[in-house]
Copies of this chain bind each other. A is one copy, B any other.
């Protein structure tokens, strides 16, 4: 249990629930948006690959603005609450295989809570 769970809470509906921001903002908005940063094809690829890998208890969802636009495209995986900023299909494959299949972490793509800007390339 995490510190927000209570004894007697129902079992999880999804083993892991992934939310990929696909929010769009008007062109030229100072914060940009995950969609402008390529979120939609990445999210679509993630959904298809999760199916191909047989991750049947994992749901790959789209979400509105997660309010970390500068770091986008961002995804968050619950219940563990781990945030990633994938840029490529390889990044998605690594998150699916290492995090969702093996229960590890992909440190190079993880976002920290205090992080406001992308790490230097």
A residues in contact (CB < 8 Å) with B: 1-2, 4-6, 9-17, 19, 22, 59, 61-68, 76, 78-83, 103, 105, 110-113
Contact = CB atoms under 8 A, between A and B. Distances in A.
Given A4-B16, A82-B9, A66 B61 contact: yes
A23 to B, nearest CB: 9
A4 B1 CA distance: 9
Given A61-B63, A79-B78, A19 B16 contact: no
B10 A110 contact: yes
Given A10-B112, A10-B113, A103-B4, A62 B64 contact: yes
B81 A13 contact: yes
Contacts of A66: 59, 61
